[in-house]
Amino acid sequence: MMLACQLFVSVVRNSRTLSRLVTTWSPVGAAFNAQQRKVDLFQKNVGLFGVPGLSTPAGFEVAQQRALRETEQLVETACNNPPGALTVETFDQLSDSLCKVADLADFVKVGHPDPAFRDAAEKACINIGTVVERLNTNVELCRSLKNLLDNKEVLDSLDPDTRRVAELFMFDFEISGIHLDESKVRKAVSLNVNLLDLNNEFLNGTHLPNRIEKTALPEHIRHCFSIDGNSIQIGGLHADSPDELVREAAYKIFLYPNSSLLLCLDDLLTCRNELAKLVGYESFAHRALNGTMAKTPGKVLWLTAKDFNLMRDMKMKMNSRSTELMPWDHSYFSSAVRAERYKIDPSLYSPYFSLGACMEGLNMLFSQLLGVSFQNEQPMAGEVWSEEVRKLAVVHETEGLLGYIYCDFFRRPDKPHQDCHFTIQGGRLKEDGKYQHPVVVLMLSLPPPTRSTPTLLNPGMMENLFHEMGHAMHSMLGRTRYQHVTGTRCSTDFAEVPSILMEFFATDYRVVNQFARHYQTGQPLPKSMVSRLCESKRICGAADTQLQVFYAALDQVYHGKPQNRSTTDILKKMQEKFYGLPYVPNTAWQLRFSHLIGYGAKYYSYLMSRAIASMVWRQCFQKDPFNRDMGERYRREMLAHGGSKEPMLMVQGKELTYFSWPLPSSLSLGFLHSFSPISSFPRSPLLYV
């Protein structure tokens, strides 16, 4: 791996000698530290992700119809063939056909800059989702699978992966209410279809800004927000602003209750509870957790907190207008404590964390640990939705091409400010014996490069990049026979383990020291700065954990038994019980809790995954983060399986034992996985909305 080389060049101008330090980057680093090369306008438009027909929004309708025709044929095949491995293969082809449209559309509806594409994609998601719910209650389809599972001779002839995938398909039939009478099945389908609309309505609402009359804010802070005529638009919390009044105003205005969205959330939770009870579960949480490592509600979690005193002391020291620590203070003053104790100034680190340097660091790490490298490829016309998107081919030193990662890293209007991983196409062994390469998108919110300066990341951005790349490599390194269980298509509380593990690499001085180079001089980040940065991560960690416990507990209560109280009243009580900072009247933070959609009743996954990732790090990589043997075993025992093996069998594998204490076994996902993105761990309060 070629890191930055330093070449001194002397230039004579007007009898003056100037010394200039030129930094040479590897092809990957150079690609991410430079402006993207323009696409040849005379090229034929190949369609989004190279999918023919998706050169226009109308292509989604064509793709839907093609998938539905394939679905009809595959359902007929599954129902008419004798039970055997072909049955499971047909189910997986059915899932793959629908997911290729739904997964792609799920990304496009939030990531494409063209509203027409977003609208067409959203309609496709709803239409495919409706078909999925009907398939989940198709009695004939279920019977074909049941005939296989009830035939001991046939079942014993199946390999372990095929048998597990068959059981997972049946599991989702069961939680969808296949056992109900015809009228209740129709009701279950209706509830699921209604949930698709409610999910979209709530998710869209969580990102909408709030407006206020310009005169309602003091004149000296108005410039901190987006001004539109006589009103001010606030679309975030400004949690890192040094101005306390800006933080307070943003918090109170952005979180001001929206009555229609409150009703939407009520309807969503009621609908989820009604569906769960209809199919035989005590609550939606019981239904959701039936396929996870946690298994049942009530195993979440623990309280740790007392870092708030440090933050209060810092607030007093900075002569704030108020000494009471408020929710809008958590992120700012925890950073201030770290900065004071370890002299951490993000602006001093950013020049060493150019995007190119960070990508070289990831490339170097994966090359040494797993024998995998990135190759930058120029997208074809129409293949990407923005000219700033980079395309990476992921190549193994002996296995060849593993898959593709589309890097949508830069901010732009109407793009969500949430770091996400989207599966576009899952990997699987195709009928012709070739492997269908996985395709994913990583979406970040980084400042774009300028003509003179590459994108510079602060330490938090760098850590988020490593986190999301952990998801991407989970998708790339899986080599499952079935796409239904490929990569991140596994138990939600296990899917976050590989990404959180990458955060440990991102905060290890031996790793950071390998790639952190000043974008102008090529000088390495001083070891003292690396050490201080890594040490600072331990400060206020308990308070951050407690905040996550509050989020997880709130999520569980919302999806538990009905409380006969408003969601805001529940929020207030849970905040008093699990979090050390007070509830602010006339705010409704739950309306910005977008994880309620993709992680409903499963938000605890971040905490459980963090505990597992910590153990994996300590027992496998803490001694040597570049240990190739351990990297290969990590891939073989965990990443390669996706969801085809129970998580606890992986973390307690005979060859690679991470735990010395027993944990419960688990199932994995259901019939067709959730189309929601895998998102990064929100380390600061509310910053992920």
Q: Cβ–Cβ contacts within 10 Å for residue 665, how many?
A: 12
d(CA 126, CA 199): 10
d(CA 450, CA 33): 10
Tokens of 534: 């890594």
The yes-or-no answer on residue 468 being catalytic is: yes
pLDDT of residue 298: 53
Mean pLDDT along residues 639-662: 64
Q: Would you say residue 5 has pLDDT above 70?
A: no
More confident residue, 291 or 614: 614
pLDDT of residue 296: 64
Whole-number percent of the chain with pLDDT over 70: 88
pLDDT of residue 345: 83
> What's the chain's length in residues?
689
Q: Would you say residue 680 has pLDDT above 60?
A: no
pLDDT category at 29 given cuts 50, 70, 90 is confident
Q: What is the pLDDT of residues 302-336, one digit of tens each?
A: 333 456 778 888 888 887 777 788 999 988 888 88
Which H or E run contains 606?
helix 605-616
pTM: 0.85
For residues 490-516, one letter each, b for 16 or more C-beta atoms within 10 angstroms of the residue's C-beta and e for the rest, the string is: bbbbbbbbbbbbbbbbbbbbebbbbbb
Q: What is the pLDDT of residues 160-210, one digit of tens each?
A: 999 999 999 999 899 899 999 999 999 999 999 899 899 989 998 998 999
- Average pLDDT of the chain, as a whole number: 86
More confident residue, 646 or 92: 92
Mean pLDDT along residues 657-684: 35
Tokens of 598: 């993709």
Among the listed ranges 404-408, 461-465, 544-548, which one has the minimum average pLDDT value?
Answer: 544-548
Select which of 248, 360, 468, 503 is catalytic.
Answer: 468
Q: What is the pLDDT of residues 270-286, one digit of tens each?
A: 999 999 999 999 999 98
Q: Would you say residue 9 has pLDDT above 70?
A: no
pLDDT of residue 27: 85
Tokens of 533: 């940065």
113 — phi, psi (to 5°)?
Answer: -75, -15
How many distinct helices (H) and strands (E) make up the chain? 26, 13
In terms of DSSP bridges, do strands 231-234 and 226-228 run parallel, antiparallel, or are they unpaired?
Answer: antiparallel
Place of tokens 């300590």: 618
pLDDT of residue 51: 95
Fold type of domain 198-207+258-326+540-626+658-688: Neurolysin; domain 3 (1.10.1370)
Sign of CA dihedral 241, 246, 248, 250: negative
pLDDT of residue 645: 85
Mean pLDDT along residues 421-425: 96
pLDDT of residue 579: 86
Which CATH superfamily, name and number, covers 48-136+138-179?
A: Endopeptidase. Chain P; domain 1 (1.20.1050.40)
pLDDT category at 606 given cuts 50, 70, 90 is confident
Whole-number percent of the chain with pLDDT over 90: 66
Q: Would you say residue 4 has pLDDT above 90?
A: no
More confident residue, 685 or 122: 122
pLDDT category at 646 given cuts 50, 70, 90 is confident
Closest C-alpha to 672, from 281, 191, 271, 135: 135
Q: What is the pLDDT of residues 456-483, one digit of tens each?
A: 999 999 999 999 999 999 999 988 999 9
Mean pLDDT along residues 581-605: 93
Mean pLDDT along residues 483-511: 93
SS3 557: helix
d(CA 388, CA 408): 7
d(CA 79, CA 104): 28
pLDDT of residue 669: 26
Task: Spell out the residues 6+ positions from residue 426 whose beta carbon is closer than 8 angstroms to its own.
Answer: 96, 99, 103, 436, 438, 475, 483, 484, 486, 487, 489
pLDDT of residue 24: 64
pLDDT category at 76 given cuts 50, 70, 90 is very high
d(CA 337, CA 321): 18
Mean pLDDT along residues 603-620: 90
pLDDT category at 54 given cuts 50, 70, 90 is very high
d(CA 88, CA 153): 16
456, β-bridge pairs: 354
Q: Would you say residue 395 has pLDDT above 70?
A: yes
Q: Where are the chain's structural domains?
A: 48-136+138-179, 198-207+258-326+540-626+658-688, 209-256
Amino acid at 274: E
